[in-house]
A and B are shown apart, each in its own frame.
Chain A
Amino acid sequence: MAVDDALNQLGNQVFLTRFDRILAWARKYSLWPLPFGTACCAIEFMAVVGTHYDISRYGWEVVRFSPRQADLLIVAGTVNYKIAPALKKVYEQMLEPKWVIAMGACATSGGFYNNYSVVQGIDRFIPVDVYVPGCPPKPEALIDGIMMIKEMIETGAKRKRDILEEMKKR
């Protein structure tokens, strides 16, 4: 066979894989995060981007402030009812594929604010893939959270968005 001959000639200079796997490999090491920072969690996010923790080691350092150029939304801080429509719009403007991290107690559940103005968790109106606990979380915790996103991408795991779609069809 001509193909076999060609492969034999190339020896170990080539390897075969599935297209979606190589795509996932590329994606997981080039996440472009969009920080939606509204409180002290955003300061912790800055530490993660800064030299000491340096998420560029993983290829995630291209922080974008336009949702159209980002594929990982990190909601860092308290989200109140006034800003919720803006956050929803930001999420909707992001192009597929996209993932969401709720960083810290406030974004996860409203934190210790249970009053007239604070949304009790962003998962009330946008799908969240990874929740990072803490008030604010340590930089290591956020890195661990993004690691989980990376794991989701490499295993092709369903996102919360996909699960919600399925639930709607059922």
Chain B
Amino acid sequence: MTETKSPVLEAIREKFGEDVIEAGIFRGDEFVVVKRERVIDLLRFLKEDPGMSFEFLMDVTAVDWLGRKTPRFEVVYHLYSFSKNRRLRVKTPVPEEDPRVESATPLWKGANWFEREVYDMFGITFDGHPDLRRILLYDSFVGHPLRKDYPHDKRQPTVPTDEFPDPEKNVRVYIDEWKKRGE
């Protein structure tokens, strides 16, 4: 798994040394796990170094490893190089007690909405983000639904439902009405 034939990974190892937690190739996909403090430095290097030239940030997302890994969260960046036609996955562990990462918005404007989504779903904050608020869910929503400890059956209604009977009763009343019509 930790095969190191890739020139990209070699260059990263050489430049970041101890800060690279893990680097390797998994089923043909190169990945780097780097310390949280250096992740923006690494991304800047990958974007701006002529040998790397990963111009395009495809996605920023996160993983919740609740009960399976410490630290709990992992923020994942997917990079793509148009000029060299290759991809790279950069991951960084984020602890539960201090869920924050430096924002990648100074490097890519496109990181803005990705990071807002990660904030919305996982509650990880991005330092230096220009407008960090929920992007998909409504403002009154409490909690972060893609965290593994968010109750799977928890609902946060936005409209009153009091005057409507429960669905089963609802349908039964209605079937009776239709039957009456047929008589």
Contact = CB atoms under 8 A, between A and B. Distances in A.
A84 B158 contact: yes
A116 interface: yes
Interface stretch (A3-11, A46-54, A139-147, A157-165): A157-165
A157 B160 CA distance: 27
Interface stretch (B19-27, B60-68, B122-130, B161-169): B161-169
A167 B150 contact: no
A81 B137 CA distance: 9
Given A81-B158, A163-B177, A123 B145 contact: no
A13 B159 CA distance: 54
Interface residues of A, number: 24
B157 interface: yes
B5 interface: no
B177 A158 contact: yes
28 contacts: A81-B138, A81-B156, A81-B157, A82-B138, A82-B158, A84-B159, A85-B158, A85-B159, A88-B159, A109-B167, A115-B145, A116-B152, A116-B154, A116-B156, A117-B137, A119-B157, A121-B167, A123-B164, A123-B167, A124-B167, A125-B159, A125-B161, A127-B164, A158-B177, A160-B174, A163-B177, A164-B163, A167-B173
Interface of B: 136-138, 145, 150, 152, 154-161, 163-165, 167, 170, 173-174, 177, 181
